[in-house]
């Protein structure tokens, strides 16, 4: 059921059934109406209403306090609900409900309404807050809330107003099925009360609650009690005098635990908090405050941090001892609390020796852990306990992870690293005691670092797998002589944590050197602090590659491939290969590994350096590191040093060449710096890299060659890396000496489409002629005419959605003339290479070879280049024109020198300059490019289907069909071939050439104002019958025909219910509203100009169209005193000679309402002559049987037909009135019942023939209106 229809049906029901009952109080009635108006968007909404008190019987008092009395009653009629099965509203009789009587509420109306608003009418299964309405006890005048009684909310009361108000407030906040129902619980409800622990402030007991808490049962969609529930009683000593403190405690526990309510010990008067779980206390105020503070700030998805009594642990076993810490495994009997407890959970106890003397240190460690806690942290700290014998405090955690060393700074860093660990595959960063390492063997050593291999006995711990990978081979990187030990250590650890799966930190107990424990990958250091610091900075800054120090003995097969005064270039094989980034499939974790041994690399050896060598190599490295595209393209792997020459070396994955000319090299470098990731890499290309060079074309400014580029361009791969596309076919555009190569290149690099279409790969130079060469992917032809070439380049820079270009005439085959006039010849041709188009799916440009195109040859245009440019520009300025006509470019006939405009779609011409100019204006200015001149020979199967007063109507098949936006994805236009259309032949062709402007103005008004409405008949264009010279308007074909025809076919009249009548009339009125909104009027509004999309009546609604808007009367008529139309549909003031207004359209609509109600044309039983005109002017109107239509419908029709125009509704009022009638259920039902019971007689009435002189086609009416003049 739609929300619109649901609202209408609900309002109808309430209007006809519910408004008989009112409270008698205006404020309450207004509030009830406000609540009812919110109905309609959910099937399960409760209908809020006024309920007379005599509707209730079997009234029983349930509970009472000073202000409120609760009753259980039976409601005779019951609440109103939506019956989904039968699609209607119905009541549930004899419903058990609760009455909440508010004493003396007749004096507190605003309070009453505010209280009612706290309840919900949104029935989503939450019966706790459901309110059906308001009633009143006639004897006391007390108002009553009528509530759902599936749960008794106020059965028990404490007798303390503050507590009862608090309980009611808590209950009113309930909005979910699984919310706990907070209540007052009598102490007599508890059995088997056993004391568990006690201190000065409270006693904790376990107990059985006989009735048990209220809970929602999904299966039965109701609430019930969980009887004999085991709970915890937290007795607050001497609390009877501090009720506010009790309530504060209740608020606190409601955030962190399942608290069921409040009770009171009748013997001690102590208040009791009734909760689901036990919460222990340590006896130390600082620790208890810490625990409570953490609980209060607990995120709802987190495990509850708590004090855990030591006697709750079983099977305590020592695992290891680290001097200040002893680690135990144990079974926690109760288990951690996470929504509910997980009993008998295995945990780790970290016993901190002598910690009873360092409470502040203990608290600081816990606070640091909690500061960055997330629910998916690997380390879960459940709480604190204490060994009763040694008094040592204990951290209770989920695993054996080490996070405490002897150094506070390192402990903080380790915990910080652990809190960043979230995914399953990550190894946990930890403190690793040195005694954990076996088989320690030195690998290499310098003054700052010693590298060892070792076996880690326990091995690393994997996040959330809770298992260690024992006897793991690792690398120990021992750091000597650190100046700032903590800062240096943590900085290096951060670097390795990003790239090398660092396991943790350790310390050599003999030398006290700190140790980084790494995965089994070695990274070296140079021993030069400046270079090592730079490498570390790069490793921290960039994680898309690992920049490192590389030992020179790692390189084999070193070969010189280039040399200059300061640089020598070598190729080499790197034995170990680079450390590569690998994304893991089982998480977001990134792994680095050496998996490309024997990698071919480039060694860029710097020599003869004057500045300090380390700074020069760093500057050179930065050129390749700072931009992501450079890192991907050149792959700077690191720095090395030749031990024989001491020269520093930059190790790269790829290289680009340079020309040696500073201006050109700087320009190429600038182009590369401006590159985006997916751009082609622009570079200098040595001429000897080209093979098979062949001349293709030659002009005044350039010569075009094809060639094979041996190494090919640097191209981005799917992996994101760059590689060369070898043996690439390219075009070489050799620039004659007058051209500046840099300025010429910029032309191809400015426009986005130019870069993607022509793909300028770089610059080269012919060593024989010294001419510079632009290396391109596609050939860019030139016309030889500077103005034309500049215009083409301007268009290429301006538009990215199509490539406008110069096309040599020899590119066209199979040229066939298809139309010709004095100024233009239209030819069809095959373009061999075809246009360049963008593949939307992959974003690349390619040519569509052997493409059929239109050549529009512009006669004598060689001497009028500006006119050629102006004509081409018409098709390029607007995006929609570029998509429809697809102007591909310009060419030139070598025999005639005429310029040619190449298009995708034909734009025909009529031969009449005024009409052709108008059509072009319509396409380019009126924003209706689909309007066109259509040659008459495009039409097949022409059949006459109707005759009007001033035109003849035919149907036809349009062979090519209209241009349609068929591909919504890319916005391209195609023709909808063999389209059925309507041809409207206009009369009086002999005079039309003299009054063509009048005709055009009417068509222009139609196109300008009616184009954006789907209910106004679409106009495709203009044509002309070559034999009769009649001009033809080509329109959309509405298959259902006009209203009079539609109602007579396929038994449509029989099924034309009042609901469908009103829907169609409302649709027509909305279309007329659009016309009036344009400050226009139809001028000829009748059933013949209302068309239907289908001939069969629809289940819901048929689409209607209004035709002939503004196209009335004789086209040649300039006499504004002439009156046209169908007499019954023309307003009386118009018949008298007054100007046509929008009010006259409303009069015509009134006659259409008569036709809709009866199925008969107005005044079909009399001649349409001067007598009828006089009668209409005197106020005679067609009459309706009063039972034949809803009364409000008849009233509206009569208003529309009022003789005084100002008394008629405007179009907005008309639409609103139709809407009101459509929801008047009783009137519509009465009229529909009459229609169904008299259908046969109504059919007979329709079959009575019209009077022979009743004319329902438009004509000139002045001969009938003279007596009124």
Cα 424 from Cα 1005, distance rounded (Å): 70
Cα 893 from Cα 855, distance rounded (Å): 10
Task: State yes or no: pLDDT of 929 exceeds 60.
Answer: no
Query: What's the mean pLDDT in 594-604?
Result: 84
Which is more confident, 886 or 585? 886
Count other C-beta atoms under 10 Å from residue 831's C-beta: 22
Query: What's the mean pLDDT in 1096-1118?
Result: 66
Q: Are the CB atoms for 226 and 266 separated by under 8 Å?
A: no
What is the CATH T-level fold of the domain 908-1037, as seen in this structure? Answer: Phosphorylase Kinase; domain 1 (3.30.200)
Q: Is 997 exposed, middle or buried (0-12, 13-18, 19+ CB in 10 A)?
A: exposed
Cα separation values, 906 from 854, 932, 937, 1009, 1150, Å: 6, 10, 15, 26, 46
For β-strands 690-698 and 702-709, DSSP reports them as antiparallel
Positive or negative CA dihedral for 955, 958, 959, 962?
negative
Cα 661 from Cα 572, distance rounded (Å): 28
Task: State yes or no: pLDDT of 957 exceeds 50.
Answer: yes
Res. 22 pLDDT band, cuts 50 70 90: confident
Nearest to 1162 by CA among 1181, 1143, 1145, 1188: 1181
Query: What's the mean pLDDT in 685-698?
Result: 84
Q: pLDDT of 50-92, one tens digit each?
A: 999 999 999 988 767 667 788 889 999 999 877 777 777 788 8
- Ranges of each domain in the chain: 3-155, 180-275, 285-400, 523-655, 662-780, 786-898, 908-1037, 1041-1263
Query: What's the mean pLDDT in 216-236?
Result: 77
Cα 1047 from Cα 1042, distance rounded (Å): 9
**Around 1138, how many Cα atoms within 13 Å sit in the side-chain half-sphere?**
15
Partners of residue 548 on adjacent β-strands:
638
pLDDT at residue number 168: 77
Task: State yes or no: pLDDT of 587 exceeds 60.
Answer: no
On whether the 285-400 domain is CATH 3.40.630.30, my answer is: no
Cα separation values, 16 from 146, 304, 737, 777, Å: 22, 57, 93, 77
Q: Are the CB atoms for 506 and 475 separated by under 8 Å?
A: no
The per-residue b/e assignment along 143-171, b for 16 or more CB within 10 angstroms, e otherwise, is bbbbbbbbbbbbebbbebeebbebbbebb
CA dihedral 255, 256, 262, 264 (to 10 degrees): -140
CB-based contacts of 274: which residues, under 8 Å, 6+ apart? Answer: 185, 209, 231, 232, 233, 234, 259, 260, 261, 262, 263
Which is more confident, 1043 or 588? 1043
pLDDT at residue number 111: 82
3-state DSSP call for residue 317?
strand
Q: pLDDT of 450-465, one tens digit each?
A: 888 899 888 887 755 5
Cα separation values, 965 from 930, 1013, 1168, Å: 10, 17, 47
Task: State yes or no: pLDDT of 1 exceeds 70.
Answer: no
3-state DSSP call for residue 690?
strand
On whether the 1041-1263 domain is CATH 1.10.510.10, my answer is: yes
CB-based contacts of 945: which residues, under 8 Å, 6+ apart? Answer: 953, 954, 955, 982
Task: State yes or no: pLDDT of 992 exceeds 60.
Answer: no
The C-alpha angle with vertex 1086 and arms to 1081 and 1092, in degrees rounded to 5, equals 105
Query: What's the mean pLDDT in 542-556?
Result: 84
Q: Which residue has the tokens 């009790």?
A: 246
Query: What's the mean pLDDT in 20-48?
Result: 76
| 408-412, 600-604, 717-721, 773-777: which is most confident | 600-604
Positive or negative CA dihedral for 885, 888, 893, 897?
positive
Q: Report the chain's C-alpha Rg in angstroms.
A: 46
pLDDT at residue number 1114: 43
Polymer length of the chain: 1269
Task: State yes or no: pLDDT of 218 exceeds 50.
Answer: yes
Same fold, 3-155 and 662-780: yes
| 173-177, 499-503, 1065-1069, 1241-1245: which is most confident | 1065-1069
Partners of residue 774 on adjacent β-strands:
733, 763
H/E stretch holding 538: helix 529-541
Q: Are the CB atoms for 475 and 459 separated by under 8 Å?
A: no
**Around 753, how many Cα atoms within 13 Å sit in the side-chain half-sphere?**
19
For β-strands 306-307 and 381-386, DSSP reports them as parallel
Which of 401-410, 769-778, 849-858, 1063-1072 is predicted with the least confidence, judged by mean pLDDT?
Answer: 401-410
What is the CATH T-level fold of the domain 180-275, as seen in this structure? Answer: Phosphorylase Kinase; domain 1 (3.30.200)
3-state DSSP call for residue 349?
strand
Cα 373 from Cα 381, distance rounded (Å): 10
Which of 260-269, 529-538, 955-964, 1151-1160 is predicted with the least confidence, judged by mean pLDDT?
Answer: 529-538
Cα separation values, 877 from 881, 885, 925, Å: 8, 12, 11
Query: What's the mean pLDDT in 1073-1083?
Result: 87
Which contacts (CB < 8 Å, 24+ apart) does range 1004-1008 have? 1004/918, 1004/922, 1004/926, 1005/1080, 1005/1110, 1006/1109, 1006/1110, 1006/1111, 1007/922, 1007/926, 1007/928, 1007/931, 1008/926
DSSP state of 388: T
Q: Are the CB atoms for 560 and 568 separated by under 8 Å?
A: yes
Res. 940 pLDDT band, cuts 50 70 90: very high
Which is more confident, 268 or 216? 268
Q: Which residue has the tokens 């350096």?
A: 609
pLDDT at residue number 1169: 94
Task: State yes or no: pLDDT of 379 exceeds 60.
Answer: yes
Cα 649 from Cα 574, distance rounded (Å): 13
Mean pLDDT of the chain: 80
Query: What's the mean pLDDT in 100-110?
Result: 83
Cα 353 from Cα 326, distance rounded (Å): 8
Q: pLDDT of 278-328, one tens digit each?
A: 566 777 888 888 887 777 566 545 678 888 889 889 999 988 776 678 888
Count other C-beta atoms under 10 Å from residue 644's C-beta: 7
Cα 519 from Cα 665, distance rounded (Å): 44
Task: State yes or no: pLDDT of 585 exceeds 70.
Answer: no
The per-residue b/e assignment along 289-313, b for 16 or more CB within 10 angstroms, e otherwise, is ebbbebbeebeeebbbbbbbbeebb
Cα 395 from Cα 327, distance rounded (Å): 10
CA dihedral 1237, 1241, 1242, 1243 (to 10 degrees): 120
Task: State yes or no: pLDDT of 400 exceeds 70.
Answer: no
What is the CATH T-level fold of the domain 523-655, as seen in this structure? Answer: Phosphorylase Kinase; domain 1 (3.30.200)
Which of 526-540, 839-853, 1162-1176 is predicted with the least confidence, judged by mean pLDDT?
Answer: 839-853
CB-based contacts of 493: which residues, under 8 Å, 6+ apart? Answer: 413, 417, 502, 505, 516
Task: State yes or no: pLDDT of 1253 exceeds 50.
Answer: yes
pLDDT at residue number 19: 44
Task: State yes or no: pLDDT of 748 exceeds 50.
Answer: yes
User: To which CATH superfamily is domain 3-155 assigned?
Assistant: Phosphorylase Kinase; domain 1 (3.30.200.20)
Tokens in use for 37?
């108006």
Tokens in use for 8?
């209408």
Query: What's the mean pLDDT in 182-189?
Result: 86
Task: State yes or no: pLDDT of 40 exceeds 60.
Answer: no
Which is more confident, 123 or 770? 770
Query: What's the mean pLDDT in 404-411?
Result: 71
CATH class of the structural domain 662-780: alpha beta
Query: What's the mean pLDDT in 544-572?
Result: 84
Query: What's the mean pLDDT in 834-844?
Result: 68
DSSP state of 406: S
Query: What's the mean pLDDT in 701-720?
Result: 80
Which is more confident, 831 or 492? 831
Q: pLDDT of 1046-1058, one tens digit each?
A: 998 878 898 899 9
Q: pLDDT of 1164-1204, one tens digit each?
A: 999 999 999 999 999 999 988 888 899 999 999 999 999 99
Q: Are the CB atoms for 273 and 259 separated by under 8 Å?
A: yes
């Amino acid at each position: 059921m739609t929300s619109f229809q649901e609202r209408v049906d609900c309002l109808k029901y309430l209007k006809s059934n519910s408004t008989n009952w009112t409270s008698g109080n205006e404020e309450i009635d207004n509030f009830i109406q406000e609540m009812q108006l919110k109905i309609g968007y959910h099937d399960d909404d409760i209908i809020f209403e006024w309920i007379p008190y005599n509707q209730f019987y079997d009234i029983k008092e349930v509970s009472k306090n000073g202000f409120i009395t609760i009753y259980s009653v039976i409601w005779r009629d019951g609440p109103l609900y939506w019956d989904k099965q039968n699609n209607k509203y119905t009541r549930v009789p004899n419903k058990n409900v609760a009455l909440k009587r508010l004493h003396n509420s007749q004096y507190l109306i605003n309070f009453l309404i505010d209280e009612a608003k706290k309840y919900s009418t949104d029935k989503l299964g939450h019966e706790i807050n459901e309110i059906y309405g308001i009633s009143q006890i006639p004897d006391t005048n007390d108002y009553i809330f009528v509530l759902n009684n599936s749960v008794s909310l106020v059965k028990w009361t404490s007798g303390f107003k503050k507590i009862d108000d608090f309980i009611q407030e808590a209950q009113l906040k309930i909005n979910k099925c699984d919310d706990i129902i907070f209540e007052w619980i009598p102490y007599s409800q508890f059995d088997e009360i056993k004391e568990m622990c006690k201190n000065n402030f409270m006693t904790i007991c376990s107990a059985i609650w006989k009735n048990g808490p209220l809970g929602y049962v999904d299966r039965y969609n109701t609430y019930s009690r969980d009887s004999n529930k085991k709970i915890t009683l937290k007795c607050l000593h001497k609390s009877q005098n501090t009720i506010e403190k009790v309530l504060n405690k209740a608020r606190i526990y409601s955030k962190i635990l399942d608290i069921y309510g409040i009770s009171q010990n009748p013997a001690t008067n102590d208040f009791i908090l009734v909760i689901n779980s036990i919460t222990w206390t340590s006896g130390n105020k600082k620790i208890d405050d810490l625990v409570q503070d953490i609980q209060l700030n607990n995120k709802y998805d987190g495990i509850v941090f708590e004090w855990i009594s030591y006697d709750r642990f079983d099977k305590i076993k020592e695992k290891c001892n680290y001097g200040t810490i002893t680690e135990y495994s144990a079974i926690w009997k109760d288990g951690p609390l996470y929504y509910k407890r997980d009993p008998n959970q295995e945990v780790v106890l970290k016993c901190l020796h002598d910690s009873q003397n360092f409470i502040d240190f203990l608290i600081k460690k816990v606070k640091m852990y909690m500061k960055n806690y997330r629910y998916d942290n690997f380390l879960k700290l459940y709480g604190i306990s204490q060994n009763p014998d040694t008094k040592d405090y204990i951290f209770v955690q989920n695993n054996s992870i080490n996070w405490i060393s002897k150094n506070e700074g390192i402990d903080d860093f380790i915990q910080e690293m652990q809190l960043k660990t979230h995914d399953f595959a990550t190894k946990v960063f930890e403190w690793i005691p040195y005694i954990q390492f076996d088989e320690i063997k030195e690998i290499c050593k310098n003054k700052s670092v010693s590298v060892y291999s070792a076996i880690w006995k326990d091995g690393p711990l994997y996040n959330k797998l809770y298992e260690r990978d024992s006897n793991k081979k690792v690398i120990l990187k021992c750091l000597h002589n650190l100046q700032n030990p903590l800062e240096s250590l943590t900085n290096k650890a951060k670097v390795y944590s990003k790239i090398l799966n660092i396991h943790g930190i350790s310390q050599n107990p003999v030398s006290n050197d700190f140790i980084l424990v790494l995965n089994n990958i070695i990274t070296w250091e140079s021993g030069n602090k400046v270079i090592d610091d730079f490498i570390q900075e790069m490793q921290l800054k960039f994680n898309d590659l690992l920049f490192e120090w590389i030992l020179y003995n790692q390189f084999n097969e070193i070969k010189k491939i280039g040399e200059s005064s300061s640089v020598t270039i070598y190729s080499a094989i790197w034995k170990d290969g680079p450390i590569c980034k690998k994304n893991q499939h089982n998480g977001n974790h990134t792994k680095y590994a050496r998996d490309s041994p024997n990698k071919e690399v480039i060694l860029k050896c710097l020599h003869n350096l004057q500045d300090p060598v380390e700074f020069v190599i760093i500057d050179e490295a930065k050129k390749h590191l700072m931009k992501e595209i450079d890192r991907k393209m050149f792959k700077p792997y690191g720095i090395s040093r030749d031990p024989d020459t001491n020269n520093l070396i930059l190790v790269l994955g790829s290289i680009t060449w340079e020309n040696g000319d500073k201006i050109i090299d700087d320009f190429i470098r600038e182009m590369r710096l401006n590159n985006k990731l997916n751009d082609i890499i622009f570079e200098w290309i040595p001429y000897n890299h080209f093979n098979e060079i062949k001349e293709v074309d030659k002009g005044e400014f350039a010569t075009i060659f094809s060639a094979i580029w041996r190494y090919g361009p640097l191209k981005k791969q799917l992996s994101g890396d760059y590689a060369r596309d070898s043996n690439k076919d390219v075009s070489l555009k050799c620039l004659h000496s007058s051209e500046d190569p840099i300025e010429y290149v910029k032309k191809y690099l400015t426009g986005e489409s130019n870069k993607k279409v022509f793909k300028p790969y770089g610059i080269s130079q012919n060593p024989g002629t010294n001419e510079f060469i632009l290396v391109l992917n596609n050939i860019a032809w030139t016309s030889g005419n500077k103005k034309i070439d500049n215009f083409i380049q301007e268009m290429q820079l301006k538009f990215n959605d199509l490539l406008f270009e110069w096309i040599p005439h020899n590119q066209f085959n199979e040229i066939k003339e298809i139309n010709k006039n004095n100024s233009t010849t239209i030819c069809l041709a095959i373009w061999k290479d075809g246009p360049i188009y963008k593949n939307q799916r992959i974003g690349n440009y390619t040519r569509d070879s052997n493409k059929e195109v239109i050549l529009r040859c512009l006669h004598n245009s060689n001497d009028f280049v500006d006119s050629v440019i102006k004509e081409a520009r018409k098709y390029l300025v607007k995006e929609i024109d570029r998509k429809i006509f697809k102007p591909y470019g310009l060419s030139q006939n070598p025999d005639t020198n005429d310029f040619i405009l190449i298009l995708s779609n034909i734009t025909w011409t009529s031969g009449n300059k005024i009409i052709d100019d108008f059509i072009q204006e319509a396409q380019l200015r009126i924003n209706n490019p689909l309007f066109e001149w259509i040659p008459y020979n495009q039409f097949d199967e022409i059949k006459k289907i109707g005759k009007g007063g001033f035109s003849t109507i035919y149907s036809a098949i349009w062979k090519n069909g209209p241009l349609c936006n068929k591909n919504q994805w890319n916005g391209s236009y195609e023709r909808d071939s063999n389209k059925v259309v309507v041809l409207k032949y206009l009369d009086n062709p002999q005079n039309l050439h003299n009054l063509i402007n009048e005709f055009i103005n009417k068509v222009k008004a139609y196109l300008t104002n009616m184009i954006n409405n789907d209910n106004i008949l679409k106009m495709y264009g203009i044509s002309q019958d070559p034999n009769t010279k009649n001009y033809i308007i080509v329109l959309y074909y509405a298959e259902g025909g006009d209203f009079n025809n539609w109602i007579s076919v396929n038994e449509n009249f029989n099924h034309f219910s009042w609901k469908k009548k009103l829907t169609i009339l409302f649709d027509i009125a909305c279309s007329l509203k659009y016309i009036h909104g344009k400050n226009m009027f139809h001028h000829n509004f009748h059933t013949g100009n209302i068309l239907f999309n289908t001939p069969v009546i629809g289940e819901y609604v048929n689409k209607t169209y209004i035709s002939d808007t503004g196209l009335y009367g004789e086209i040649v008529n300039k006499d504004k005193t002439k009156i046209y139309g169908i007499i019954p549909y023309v307003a009386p003031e118009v018949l008298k000679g007054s100007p046509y207004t929008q009010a006259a359209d409303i009069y015509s609509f009134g006659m259409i309402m008569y036709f809709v109600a009866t199925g008969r044309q107005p005044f079909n039983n009399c001649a349409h002559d001067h007598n009828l005109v006089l009668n209409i002017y005197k106020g005679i109107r067609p009459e309706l049987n009063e039972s034949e239509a809803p009364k409000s419908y008849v009233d509206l029709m009569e208003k529309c037909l009022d003789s005084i125009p100002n008394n008629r509704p405007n179009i907005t009022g008309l639409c609103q009135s139709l809407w009101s009638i459509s929801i008047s259920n009783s009137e519509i039902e009465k009229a529909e019942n009459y229609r169904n019971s008299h259908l046969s007689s109504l059919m007979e009435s329709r079959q009575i023939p019209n009077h022979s002189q009743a004319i329902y086609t438009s004509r000139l009416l002045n001969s009938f209106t003279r007596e009124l003049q």
